[in-house]
Amino acid sequence: MDANVKNVPKAAFHREANRRDIGLYLHVPFCVKRCHFCAFYLVMENEKRMARFLAALDRELELYRQHPVLAHRDVSTVYLGGGTPTALSRTQLSSVLARVARSFSLTADCEVTVEATPESLTREYLNTLLEAGVTRLSIGIQTFVQEERIRLGLSSTIEEATAGIRLVKPAGFTNVNIDLMYGIPGQSFTSWENTLRLACEWEPTHLSCYALSVEEGTRFDSAFRRGEFRLLDSDREKELQLHAIEQLELAGFCQYEISNWSKSGFQCRHNRRYWQGEDVLGLGPSAQSYVAGCRFGNVANLEQYCLRLEHGDLAVTERETLSIFQQHKERVVFGLRMLEGVPNGWIDLNARDPAWAASLASFLEKKYLVQTPERVALTAKGRQFADEIGSQLL
CATH 3.30.300.130 for the 3-275 domain, yes or no: no
Tell me if 151 sits within 8 A of 185, measured CB to CB.
Answer: yes
pLDDT tens for each residue of 138-166? 999 999 999 999 999 998 999 999 999 99
pLDDT tens for each residue of 166-223? 999 999 999 999 999 999 988 999 999 999 999 999 999 999 999 998 899 899 989 8
Same fold, 3-275 and 324-394: no
pLDDT for position 14 = 46
Residue 308 phi, psi (nearest 5):
-65, -45
Output the average pLDDT for the chain: 92
The pTM of the full predicted model, rounded to 2 decimals, is 0.93
CATH of 324-394, one of 1.20.1740, 1.10.10, 2.60.120, 3.40.50: 1.10.10
Distances in Å between the Cα of 386 and the Cα atoms of 87, 257, 335, 359, 370 are: 34, 11, 11, 14, 13
pLDDT tens for each residue of 293-325? 999 999 999 999 999 999 999 999 989 999 999
The full set of domain ranges for the chain reads: 3-275, 324-394
Length of the chain: 394
Helix count and strand count (H, E) for the chain: 15, 17
pLDDT tens for each residue of 101-110? 999 999 999 9
**Distance from C-alpha of 368 to C-alpha of 149, rounded to nearest angstrom:** 35
**Distance from C-alpha of 279 to C-alpha of 16, rounded to nearest angstrom:** 10
Torsion region of 252: left, alpha or beta (phi above 0 gives left; psi -120 to 50 gives alpha): left
- HSE of 229 in the Cβ direction (CA atoms, 13 Å)? 18
| 224 pLDDT tier (thresholds 50, 70, 90) | confident
Which one-letter amino acid corresponds to residue 47?
E
Torsion region of 321: left, alpha or beta (phi above 0 gives left; psi -120 to 50 gives alpha): beta
